[in-house]
């Protein structure tokens, strides 16, 4: 029995709006709803709000919330695409080695900065952040182009999956070698980047990040029909006139581009893309991508906001690793949904 999708989407939208508001209000420094609204809609014109609170909202909490929404939505829909293409419930955004490619790009810049240069990348401030983001994009895009090349020439999805896993192993091996020659400050900087964070994106980077994702995310809706056909199996899809290799390459290209951009700006956030598609299938009880794609966008954004809220616990001076929070929060929920679905 299918759930009512309209009611589900309304609940997800309301939950998303509520969590977005809580991300602005809740933190180590409590700020009232009235003051938050005054800061958002009046900005510098208001004289009743403190400069400190205005900086907290506009420079920290609002960029974090916007980044969490966009990144969570992108990772969730990317995970759905990968699970559909490979017919594998364990497939996620990192299955093609794109996350490992971004990590390798960052490792080359971060771990060699102190070895070849005069100072660690962590001490370079803004220029260090720009170099880190650029390296992640180049590493992820290089891996994406390589996987797209194989996707156009390899017909068997299992073979393509194995190639992606092998690329990930090679990248991780290279990272291990680089760690042996890096100094302690650079290794620490790389480890922190690998924990994932929505707070790394701020200033003009938020605008650029959201603008790029605003172009990539709508493109996923054009792949709804090919993904529905791919879900039937290669034989049925081919008989219905679908070019398997081209459709698979396009899905991988769109999905990989989203993962590359998110990883470059937020670090490798692994769990959302794996968990959210299962949650949406369990909630909607359908395999139609016409419903699953928007559901994943909303649920991914909602889960990312919730995890960002938990990571920024009130009274805790600092931020918990987002990867740890997403796994601790989402894993029990996914297991319960899968067990309930199996029992049903």
Cβ(98)–Cβ(263) under 8 Å?
Answer: yes
pLDDT, residue 147, reads: 83
CA distances 195 to 113, 130, 192, 267, Å, are: 20, 18, 5, 7
Contacts of residue 257, Cβ cutoff 8 Å, sequence gap at least 6? 141, 144, 216
182: left (phi over 0), alpha (psi -120 to 50) or beta: beta
* Buried/exposed 91-100: b ≥16 CB within 10 Å, e otherwise: bbbbbbbbbb
Cβ(269)–Cβ(75) under 8 Å?
Answer: yes
More confident of the two residues 106 and 76: 76
The CATH number of whichever domain residue 42 belongs to comes to 1.10.3470.10
* Mean pLDDT value across the chain: 81
Q: What is the pTM of this model?
A: 0.85
DSSP 45: G
Domain housing 311: 5-343
More confident of the two residues 129 and 258: 258
Overall number of domains in the chain: 1
pLDDT > 70 in the chain, percent: 87
Rg (CA), the chain: 21
Alpha-carbon gap, residue 182 to 176, rounded angstroms = 10
pLDDT, residue 1, reads: 46
Band the pLDDT of 114: cuts 50, 70, 90. Answer: low
């Amino acid at each position: 029995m299918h759930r009512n999708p309209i009611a589900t989407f309304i609940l997800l939208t309301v939950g998303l709006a509520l969590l977005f508001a809580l991300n602005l209000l809740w933190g180590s420094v409590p700020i009232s709803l009235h003051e938050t609204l005054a800061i958002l809609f009046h900005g510098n014109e208001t004289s009743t709000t403190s400069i400190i609170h205005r900086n907290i909202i506009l420079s920290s909490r609002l960029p974090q919330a916007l980044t969490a929404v966009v990144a969570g939505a992108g990772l969730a829909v990317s995970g759905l695409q990968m699970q559909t293409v490979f017919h594998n419930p364990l497939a996620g955004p990192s299955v093609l080695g794109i996350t490992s490619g971004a990590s390798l790009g960052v490792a080359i810049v971060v771990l060699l900065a102190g070895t070849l240069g005069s100072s660690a990348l962590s001490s370079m401030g803004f220029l260090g952040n720009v170099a880190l983001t650029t390296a992640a994009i180049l590493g992820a895009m290089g891996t994406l182009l390589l996987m797209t090349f194989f996707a156009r020439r390899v017909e068997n999805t299992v073979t393509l999956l194995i190639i992606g896993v092998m690329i990930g192993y090679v990248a991780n091996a290279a990272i291990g070698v680089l760690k042996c020659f890096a100094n302690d400050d650079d290794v620490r900087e790389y480890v922190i980047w690998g924990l994932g964070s929505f707070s790394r994106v701020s200033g003009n980077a938020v605008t650029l990040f959201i603008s790029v994702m605003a172009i990539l995310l709508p493109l996923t809706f054009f792949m709804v029909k090919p993904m529905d056909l791919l879900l039937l199996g290669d034989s049925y899809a081919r008989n219905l006139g679908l070019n398997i290799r081209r459709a698979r390459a396009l899905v991988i290209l769109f999905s990989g581009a989203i993962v590359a951009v998110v990883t470059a700006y937020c670090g490798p956030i692994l769990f959302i893309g794996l968990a959210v598609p299962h949650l949406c299938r369990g909630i909607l009880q359908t395999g139609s991508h016409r419903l699953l794609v928007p559901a994943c966008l909303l649920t991914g954004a909602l889960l990312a906001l919730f995890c960002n809220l938990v990571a920024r616990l009130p009274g805790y001076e600092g931020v918990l690793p987002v990867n740890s929070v997403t796994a601790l929060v989402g894993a029990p929920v996914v297991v319960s949904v899968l067990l309930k679905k199996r029992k049903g």
